[in-house]
Amino acid sequence: MDLESELRVHDLRVTTPRRLVWQVLSESADHLTAQSIFEKVNAVDAAVNRSSVYRTLSLFAEIGLARESKLGEDEASRWEPAHADDEIHLVCESCDSVLHHSGDVVRSLRSHLGDHHDFEARAVEIVVRGRCATCGPAPASESTSEPSPAS
Amino acid sequence: MDLESELRVHDLRVTTPRRLVWQVLSESADHLTAQSIFEKVNAVDAAVNRSSVYRTLSLFAEIGLARESKLGEDEASRWEPAHADDEIHLVCESCDSVLHHSGDVVRSLRSHLGDHHDFEARAVEIVVRGRCATCGPAPASESTSEPSPAS
DNA sequence: CAGCTTATTGCGAATCGGTCGCAATTACCG
DNA sequence: CGGTAATTGCGACCGATTCGCAATAAGCTG
């Protein structure tokens, strides 16, 4: 996806903060916090301010380049390049990894709500917290901790 | 549900803040913010502090009396008496009402993730934003009028 | 390239939801 | 009626995010 043209389409200027934020965002596979994006950007160009990063991120969200999601029960927002809307987040509480899953859940939920409950779904947000395949199928009956707990 | 016994089961003391918070929480049908709960509680007994309300709410969440959810994209957490886990929130962006919906979505999502993806779901959170039945099935192509913003 | 206009930035202060440390209370047990 | 640990009230604190405003610079236009 081309940042420049995407910005131009919306009559927005191509600036250093925007270029850098986009670079960081699209290069990282992970779900980053605004803070860590700021740090990465700042490491490249110390002149870029935190506010600009925040402003740029919400701008990107508006024009559909980025997506914000609150994954942790408490934590700050996480950012990622925009995806298809039908993505749900699987957050592993053991290793903190975040998987994407796109199935027909969202689609069928949408139509179910529309058909039977007259509710027109616009945005569907699904976050599932649990344990991923790598961290073992079942949490030991007691110790609720990392894959290699110090017993 | 009986607050006193529920607290006693967990070796917790029955105090004024806890009694009042529970009263407010269970009497209101709505999804309240900690702030508004504090205000209501405070109106009854001005001696109750904000911190206590926060502490009480998270305590209630821990012992399964209350449930916290982030409904708005940005807003503060909302609180409600605990429900079955299989509840999803339908937030109407036109009238701001919040409906509950319990279907097998959650259940089937759980088993699907478990069966096909080795992901053991613990907590499933689904928030659907859109338009409720009352606010009209389809948003007029332009005028985003609010039929009856209420509750 | 120089000049102009105005979108965007940097800066720092402000806001806001929520948490914390600690001394004063107070619920509950005997 | 104590004794004692759980809980509270208080106020300072925190981290994420936002805001106002003057300075800067992107993108014309000539």
For residue A113, the distance in angstroms to the closest alpha carbon of chain B comes to 9
Q: Where in chain B is the domain with CATH 1.10.10.10?
A: 1-82
- E strand or H helix that includes residue A68: strand A66-69
**Per-residue pLDDT at B151 exceeds 80:** no
pLDDT at position B143: 43
Quote the pLDDT of residue A32: 94
Across the interface, of B90, B113, B119, the residue whose CB is closest to A119 is B90
- Which residues of chain B lie closer than 8 angstroms to A139, CB-CB? 120
Quote the percentage of chain A above a pLDDT of 70: 87
- Predicted pLDDT at B137: 65
* Mean of pLDDT values over A117-144: 78
- pLDDT, chain B, mean: 87
Domain with CATH 3.30.1490.190 in chain A: 85-134
- Can you give the pTM of this predicted structure? 0.83
Q: Residue B17 in contact with residue B53, Cβ under 8 Å?
A: yes
Question: pLDDT digit string (tens) for A4-61?
Answer: 999 999 999 999 999 999 999 999 878 899 999 999 999 999 999 999 999 999 999 9
Q: What is the DSSP string of B66-97?
A: EEEE--SSSS--EEEE---S--EEEEETTT--
pLDDT digits (tens, 9 = 90+) for A107-124: 889 999 999 999 999 888
| pLDDT given at position A112 | 92
Q: Which of A73, A123, A138 lies closest to B120 in CB terms?
A: A138
Q: What is the pLDDT of residues A76-93, one digit of tens each?
A: 899 999 877 668 999 998
Query: Measured between alpha carbons, how far is B52 from B71 in angstroms, rounded to an integer?
Result: 23
Protein CA A37 to sugar C1' C11 (Å): 19
How confident is residue B140, by pLDDT bands cut at 50, 70 and 90? low
- B1-82: CATH topology: Arc Repressor Mutant, subunit A (1.10.10)
Q: Which residues contact B124 (CB under 8 A, 6 or more apart)?
A: A126, A127, A128, A129, B85, B86, B106, B109, B110
Query: How many Cα atoms sit within 13 Å of A107 on the Cβ side?
Result: 6
pLDDT at B1: 67
Fold of the domain built from segment(s) A85-134: Dna Ligase; domain 1 (3.30.1490)
**Which CATH number fits the domain B84-132, given the four candidates 3.30.1490.190, 3.30.413.10, 3.30.479.10, 3.30.70.270?**
3.30.1490.190
According to CATH, where is 3.30.1490.190 located in chain B? 84-132
Residue B131 makes CB contacts below 8 A (sequence gap 6+) with A119, A120, A122, B92, B93, B94, B137, B138, B139
* Interface residues from chain A to B (CB-CB < 8 Å): 68, 70, 73, 90, 92-93, 99, 101, 103, 105, 108-109, 112-113, 117-133, 137-139
Contact call for residues B125 and B131 (beta carbons, < 8 A): no
Residues of A in contact with B119 (CB under 8 A): 90, 92, 99, 101, 128, 130-133
